[in-house]
Amino acid sequence: MDGDDRVFDDRTPGVEEYEPTATYLSYTAGLGLAVLLTIMSFVVAQTNLLWSPGVPMGLIVLAFAQIGVHLVFFLHLGSGPDHTNNVVALAFGVLIVFLVITGSVWIIANLNANMMDMPVHLQH
């Protein structure tokens, strides 16, 4: 433990209690970064700056970066010991989201690959 006067409390999500002077700045920095990442996403999607088969991966990376910016600068999620509960809950949420999305896509892609072509008379 470093200082004598620092209290190790549970941190409230969405609040930056220990840096009262840095808050307007942190929101503005977050806005700047988020706008930058949004513009990058739109530019990457509409031009050929990236090798075109790599564009979806590039967009996913940019989206994760922007979500990270939102979590840190707007929701004030940090890595300190006072944030343990919030981050553990988030990690569980991310796990479920990941399982639902990749699990569905994986399974349905396999089902599609194993599906027989529909006979012509059944197609409308």
Partner 1 sequence: MTITAIERAPAALARGRGGGGPAPKRTVVAYGFWIFLLSDFVLFSGLFAAYAVLSANTAGGPTGAELFNLRNVFIETMCLLLSSYTAGLGALSAERRRQDRFLIFAALTFVLGAAFLVIEAREFARMVSEGAGPSRSAFLSSFFTLVGTHGVHVTGGLIFLLYMVAQVVAKGLRGAVLRRLLCFSLFWHALDIVWVGVFTLVYLMGAR
**Residue 23 is a binding residue for partner 1 (CB under 8 A):** yes
**In whole angstroms, what is the distance from residue 80 CA to residue 63 CA?**
24
- Say how many Å lie between the first and final Cα of the chain, rounded: 71
Chain centroid to Cα 32, Å, comes to 17
* Residue 59 near residue 41 (C-beta atoms within 8 A): yes
Q: Which of residues 51-70 bind partner 1 (CB under 8 A)?
A: 55-56, 59-60, 62-63, 66-67, 70
- The residue ranges that bind partner 1 (CB under 8 A) are 1, 4, 6-15, 23-24, 27-28, 30-31, 34-35, 38, 41-42, 45-46, 55-56, 59-60, 62-63, 66-67, 70-71, 74-75, 81-82, 84-86, 89-90, 92-93, 96-97, 100-101, 103-105, 108
